Amino acid sequence: MIEVNELTKRYGGTTAVKDLTFTVRPGLVTGFLGPNGSGKSTTLRMVLGLHAPTTGTVTVDGRPFRSRPRGLRHVGALLDASHVHGGRSATAHLAALARSNRIPRGRVDQVLDQVGLAGAARRRIGGYSLGMRQRLGIAGALLGDPPVLLFDEPLNGLDPEGVKWVRELFRSLAAEGRTVFVSSHLMSEMEHTADELVVIGRGELIAAESITDFAGRGSGAGVCVRTPHGDRLAALLTVEGATVRADGDLLTATGVSAQRVGELALDHRILLHEVTTRNPSLEDAFMELTADSVEYAAGETR
C-alpha cells in the first residue's frame, strides 16, 4: 500500500504539490490523473524518495521507500523511458539493474520475454523506437517481481496493440494482488484500465475514489424523457426535487431515477415515448472537475 500524507513540495516560488493525502491499495489498478503540470511526476518522485517533500510524508507498506536497501524488489517504477544509456543492449541494461539490486540474472530473460522484447534484446537501445523503450522501462519495473509498481505515463508512444497489451498487463498484475499506480493526463487511457482514481489539479487533490463514483460526479448525468406532456411531467419532477431542462418534447432531468420518472408518469397517466438514463462520460467528469486547473488552455491570453 502507498500512503501519501499531507504532502507538499515547493520548488522556489512554485508549489508543485500541495497538502496531498491519499492511499493506493493493493489488488487494484489506481489511475493517477491530472492535466499537464499538475504535480503527478513530482508526487511519484517523492514516493520513490528521489525528491524530498517540503512537508508531509509518503510511505510504501509502512516505510519510506529509501529505507529499503534492495529497492527494485519492493517497488518497480517506470518514470522516464528515455532515461537509459543508448549504447547498451536491453540485456546489458537490465543485467546491470539486476546486479545492483541482487536480483537473479535469470529474471532478465524472463522480463524481456514478458514485454515482447526477447527478439531485440541484444540490439543497442539507441536504435529502439519510443514504444520499445516503454516496453524496456516496464521490463525494468517488473525485474524485481515487486509487490508495488509505479508507472509514469506508460502508454506514451505505444501503438494500439501495445496499449492493449499494457492494459492487460496492469490488470493481471493487480489480479496477482500487487499495488499498481499509473499516471496519465488522459482519462481515455484510464477508463478501461483503472479501478480507482486519484485526480489532482495544480498539485491539489480533486478526487480519490472508484472510477464509478467519479463518473457520477459529472453534471451530465440524468434521465432523458420524450413526452407530448412535457409541461405536466416537468412540474411533477420539480416537486420531486429534480432539476429539469426542457427542449421541445425532450426533458432532461437530474436528481431523479428513470424508475421514478416511469412511476410518476403512470400515476398521472402521462404518455411517455422514450426514457433513457444518460451517463456522463468519464472524460466529461474529468474535464469539468479539472477545468480550473489546466495551465495552458487553447484560446487563452495570458
Ligand X SMILES: Nc1ncnc2c1ncn2[C@@H]1O[C@H](COP(=O)(O)OP(=O)(O)OP(=O)(O)O)[C@@H](O)[C@H]1O
Report the alpha-carbon distance of residue 23 to residue 43 in Å, rounded.
13
Cβ neighbours of residue 174 under 8 Å, at least 6 residues apart?
27, 28, 29, 180, 195
Here the cell at position 212 is 464509478
The closest alpha carbon to 10, from 55, 44, 58, 72, belongs to 55
Task: Output DSSP code: residue 66.
Answer: G
Region of 10-18, 76-84, 137-145, 220-228 interacting with ligand X (CB under 6 A):
10-18
**Smaller CB separation from ligand X, 117 or 199:** 199
| Residue 121, CB-side half-sphere exposure with 13 Å CA sphere | 18
Residue of the chain from 7, 24, 29, 42 that contacts ligand X (CB under 6 A): 42
Cα 10-13-17 angle, rounded to 5 deg: 30
Rg for the chain (alpha carbons), in Å?
Answer: 24
Residue appearing with cell numbers 508531509: 56
The answer to whether residue 31 forms part of the interface with ligand X (CB under 6 A) is no
Among 1, 11, 100, 277, the residue binding ligand X under the rule CB under 6 A is: 11
Task: Choose the binding region for ligand X from 29-37, 83-91, 240-248, 277-285 (rule: CB under 6 A).
Answer: 29-37
Stretch that binds ligand X, among 9-17, 60-68, 88-96, 221-229 (CB under 6 A): 9-17
**Does residue 294 belong to the site contacting ligand X (CB under 6 A)?**
no
Q: Is 75 in the site for ligand X (CB under 6 A)?
A: no
Interface stretch with ligand X, choices 35-43, 64-72, 92-100, 225-233 (CB under 6 A): 35-43
Binding mask 128-167 for ligand X (x = CB under 6 A): ----------------------------------------
Cβ atoms 289, 199 nearer than 8 A:
yes
Of 227 and 290, nearer to ligand X (C-beta) is 290
Question: Residue 284 is placed in which grid cell?
Answer: 466529461
From candidates 2, 29, 33, 38, binder to ligand X by CB under 6 A: 38
82 binds ligand X (CB under 6 A): no
Q: Least distance (Å) from ligand X to the CB of residue 204?
A: 12
40 vs 107 by CB, closer to ligand X: 40
Q: How far apart are CA 299 and CA 302, in angstroms?
A: 10
Concatenated DSSP letters for 4-28? Answer: EEEEEEEETTEEEEEEEEEEE-TTS
Q: Please say which residue, 135 or 185, places its beta carbon nearer to ligand X.
A: 185
Q: How far is the CB of 141 from ligand X (least distance, A)?
A: 17
Contacting residues toward ligand X, per CB under 6 A: 11, 14, 16, 34, 36-42, 185
